[in-house]
Amino acid sequence: MAIIPVTVERARLSRRARRFVQQLRHGDEVAHLITLLAAASIIVVTVMLVYQLYVNCDLPRHKFGLEFFMGRTWDPVSGDFGALPFIYGTLVSSALALLLAVPLGVGAAIFLSELAPPRISNYLTFVIELLAAIPSVIYGVVGIFILVPVLRSVVMPFLKHTLGFLPLFKGPIYGVSMLAGGVVLAVMIVPYIISVSREVLLAVPVEQREAALALGATKWESTWQVVVPFARVGIMASVFLALARALGETMAVTMVIGNDPKISASLFAPAYSIAAVIANEFTEATGNLYLQALIELGLVLFLVTILINGLARLVIIATTQKGAAQG
Amino acid sequence: MKLKTSITSIALGVVLAALGVCAFVESPSAAPAPAPASALLINGAGATFPYPIYSKWFDEYHKLHPDMQFNYQSIGSGGGIRQVIAGTVDFGATDGPMTDEQLGQAKTKILHFPTVMGAVVPTYNIPGVNQELNFTPEALAGIFLGKITKWNDPAIANLNKGINLPDTDIIVVHRSDGSGTTYIWVDYLSKVSEEWKSKVGKNTSVNWPVGIGGKGNEGVAGLVKQQPGALGYVELIYAIQNNMPYGKVRNSSGVFVKAGLASVTAAAAGAAKSMPDDFRVSITNAPGKTAYPISSFTWLLVPNKIDDPTKKKAIVDFLHWMLKDGQGLVETLNYAKLPKEVVLKETKAISQVN
């Protein structure tokens, strides 16, 4: 009775071994291993990064606990650290950047993929990809020497004059400000939005356009009501990629944002971002609590990014389901 | 099939994690830059302020002693202190002396050797004012505390009779990055103002009551140049090299002194009499009629016990050379040299390295 299952098992094993060798010969198993290795390495790096950040901010985690997220003081002398002004600065400057960059980027992508003659489209795309490769310190220098003076002498007085009744545009004008940070970030992330959105729009099947045109739609109607909704998920992905870039951007932001950890409703007031304060203070951080508070800020930035990405996923899921139901 | 895949992935993950952890553990003692064969490599790290003179010294010293190569990384004073405590470098460098707590963390005793001096100057941009302004300690503290907010405030105007100061806001500009320059500036303010000492205090970064932050000397200089009504502080060398206007400051003897190499050296000479044996001294607000009050040493940090005898000899020889021939090179780079009294005292202290 007991013999039969064993032989069956053995036969199954040898069959499996033979199949394994066969697959090996075809390269399937090798490719599987190599790609798995590549994928696993990303997870391992991420896990190690979070682990190292977590264990290396032991002191402030115990001293401040959750208060760290709500604290508004950043005082290296007395050792009192709170992350709220930095979280605020990071989120608001990135949101401002998106507000400016999304209409511009998506508009440009629609023009390049749908309306522009192919040759012009190719030239422009090349220029846009060049923009994406410029180091951020260059954006910062341009920001401090050209953008900030223009903001201070032209844009901000104009905003104060026309929209000054809003709390957003009140207070003294320094030039370096939350607004300057948002504008520089917007310029930096626009190339990502254009580049990815254009690819996505180009990937929309021609039949979609032809069908719309056959039903009597104008060129714009077919673009706006058929092609863009079809590519919506991809366009959103481009926006989230740009947002991730904006949240972590350091050099260009710190050069124009004013570096003052205070929470102010006015976009004219200086602010501070998480990445900027880490870059600014890490090298000269004496004392363990101070250093570890900066490391904890790194962890906070990581959490903020995860939260935002999670929200982004939810938005994509919600909108695609809605799209499917309508279709 | 599915089971097999997941087992492979777990196994792979474990191997990768192990590899990664190994790499991480080893990383702090990463291999130093390759030296020419036979040359003895001495690694140091720390302050950025003295980097130009240090790299000149190490270069000159290497020409005299081709068998010795100093490798100095200007990673900042905080990093220099941490690495010398951890023993991952042969020497460190800092713009602010180590605290007792930090000295206690090190396995061996760490010695401080002043090398050169620097100063920090108030720089400003007031439309229509080209003259050199005078500042008192009270005026500077008042401005940085946010109590004096207008350029024509009597606290400033009375010091600068004959200069037509405008009725505009003073926009305070400070460093946003942690730096020795900030340390010297706030160390001075802490000495001259009780209120600053209790409210703000001193460190490489502080919780500024007012103002906007610029990254580095160039960031502060850029903001001051662009912003009418701005007042900031930069290193003396930076102000000289970039032809920036900077004011005189009243010293502890009541004389308004303009920062310069001679007045900075005078500050160190004034402080030399009360110099402690470990050289951990702040020379801001130093006594002496010609002393510029916002001056400071910068230090090399050397462990008093160096196991490798060739390395020990190399470092000791370099310290002697630095105090003798090295001092002759500093003024070409706009650093102030050590006064005689300090050189003598340091020469004696070198014998503590063993």
Which of A54, A284, A288, A291 best tests the B interface by mutation, with the highest count of B CBs <10 A?
A284
Task: Flag whether residue B205 sits within 8 Å of chain A, measured between CB atoms.
Answer: yes
Subunit contact A286:B203, Cβ cutoff 8 A: yes
Q: How far is A47 from chain B (nearest CA, A)?
A: 9
Task: Flag whether residue B79 sits within 8 Å of chain A, measured between CB atoms.
Answer: yes
Task: Flag whether residue B106 sits within 8 Å of chain A, measured between CB atoms.
Answer: no
- Mind giving me the DSSP string for A137-174? HHHHHHIIIIIHHHIIIIIHHHHHHHHTTSGGG-S---
Residue B336 pLDDT class (50, 70, 90 cuts) = very high
Point out the residue among B81, B212, B215 whose CB comes nearest to the CB of A286: B81
Point out the residue among B12, B75, B178 whose CB comes nearest to the CB of A280: B178
Task: Flag whether residue B81 sits within 8 Å of chain A, measured between CB atoms.
Answer: yes
The predicted model gives B339-350 an average pLDDT of 92
**How many beta-carbon contacts under 8 Å exist across A and B?**
123
SS3 B99: coil
- pLDDT tens per residue, range B10-52: 444 444 444 444 443 334 444 444 444 567 899 999 988 899 9
Q: What local confidence, expressed as pLDDT, does residue A69 receive?
A: 92
**Higher confidence at residue B16 or residue B160?**
B160
- Please report residues of A whose CB lies closer than 8 A to that of B16: 37, 40-41, 44
B6 pLDDT more than 60:
no
Task: Flag whether residue B12 sits within 8 Å of chain A, measured between CB atoms.
Answer: yes
Which of B22, B176, B218 best tests the A interface by mutation, with the highest count of A CBs <10 A?
B176
- Please report residues of B whose CB lies closer than 8 A to that of A73: 207
Point out the residue among A172, A174, A283 whose CB comes nearest to the CB of B79: A283
- Please report residues of A whose CB lies closer than 8 A to that of B82: 291
Subunit contact A286:B213, Cβ cutoff 8 A: no
- Mind giving me the DSSP string for A259-311? ------S-TTS-B--HHHHHHHHSTT--SHHHHHHHHHHHHHHHHHHHHHHHH
B292 pLDDT more than 50:
yes
Share of chain A above pLDDT 90, in %: 63
Q: How far is B21 from chain A (nearest CA, A)?
A: 8
- Can you list the alpha helix ranges (DSSP code H) found in chain A? 3-26, 28-55, 58-64, 67-70, 84-110, 118-132, 136-142, 148-150, 156-163, 178-202, 206-214, 219-222, 228-230, 232-248, 251-256, 274-281, 288-326
Subunit contact A37:B12, Cβ cutoff 8 A: yes
Residue spans of chain A under pLDDT 70: 1-9, 23, 321-327
Task: Flag whether residue B211 sits within 8 Å of chain A, measured between CB atoms.
Answer: yes
Q: How far is A302 from chain B (nearest CA, A)?
A: 20
Closest-CA residue of chain A to B186:
A77
Subunit contact A76:B206, Cβ cutoff 8 A: yes
Task: Flag whether residue B209 sits within 8 Å of chain A, measured between CB atoms.
Answer: no
- Can you list the alpha helix ranges (DSSP code H) found in chain B? 2-26, 51-64, 77-86, 100-105, 137-145, 154-157, 180-192, 194-199, 216-226, 236-241, 261-272, 309-324, 340-349
- The whole-angstrom separation of Cα A57 and Cα B283 is 35
Q: What local confidence, expressed as pLDDT, does residue B178 receive?
A: 86
Point out the residue among A172, A276, A280 whose CB comes nearest to the CB of B169: A172
Task: Flag whether residue B282 sits within 8 Å of chain A, measured between CB atoms.
Answer: no
How do strand B230-235 and strand B171-175 relate by DSSP bridges? parallel
Instruction: Supply A283's token pair.
Output: 């090298």
Residue linked to tokens 């009725």: B167
Point out the residue among B16, B82, B200 whose CB comes nearest to the CB of A44: B16
**H/E stretch holding B134:** strand B134-135
Please enumerate residues of A whose Cβ is less than 8 A from a Cβ of B.
Answer: 32-33, 36-37, 40-41, 43-45, 47-48, 52, 73-78, 144-145, 148-149, 152, 172, 174-176, 254-255, 258-260, 270, 272, 276, 279-286, 291
In this prediction, the answer to ipTM > 0.90 reads no
The predicted model gives B89-111 an average pLDDT of 91
Distance of CA A68 to the CA centre of its chain: 24
Q: What local confidence, expressed as pLDDT, does residue A7 receive?
A: 66
Subunit contact A260:B8, Cβ cutoff 8 A: no
Subunit contact A145:B176, Cβ cutoff 8 A: no
Task: Flag whether residue B96 sits within 8 Å of chain A, measured between CB atoms.
Answer: yes
B132 pLDDT more than 80:
yes
Q: Are B205 and B178 in contact (CB under 8 A)?
A: yes
* Burial class of residue A155 in the structure, from the number of CB atoms within 10 Å of its CB (0-12 exposed, 13-18 middle, 19+ buried): middle
Subunit contact B178:A281, Cβ cutoff 8 A: yes
Q: What local confidence, expressed as pLDDT, does residue A6 receive?
A: 61
Note the pTM of the prediction, 2 decimals: 0.81
Which of B204, B218, B298 best tests the A interface by mutation, with the highest count of A CBs <10 A?
B204
The predicted model gives B160-164 an average pLDDT of 90
Q: What local confidence, expressed as pLDDT, does residue A324 receive?
A: 45
Subunit contact A36:B8, Cβ cutoff 8 A: yes
- Which segment of A306-315, B197-206, B248-257, B333-342 scores lowest on mean pLDDT? A306-315
- Please report residues of B whose CB lies closer than 8 A to that of A43: 13
Which of A37, A154, A286, A291 best tests the B interface by mutation, with the highest count of B CBs <10 A?
A286
B4 pLDDT more than 60:
no
Residues 19-48 of B with CB under 8 A from A: 20-21, 24, 48
Share of chain B above pLDDT 90, in %: 64
Task: Return mean pLDDT, chain B.
Answer: 87
Return the half-sphere exposure (C-beta side, CA atoms, 13 A cut-off) of residue A46.
Answer: 10
Q: How far is B205 from chain A (nearest CA, A)?
A: 6
- Which segment of A281-290, B122-131, B308-317 scores lowest on mean pLDDT? A281-290
- Please report residues of B whose CB lies closer than 8 A to that of A283: 48, 75-76, 78-79, 177-178
Q: How far is A176 from chain B (nearest CA, A)?
A: 8
Q: What local confidence, expressed as pLDDT, does residue B14 receive?
A: 46
Subunit contact A284:B213, Cβ cutoff 8 A: no
Taking alpha carbons only, the member of B155, B149, B144, B150 closest to residue B193 is B144
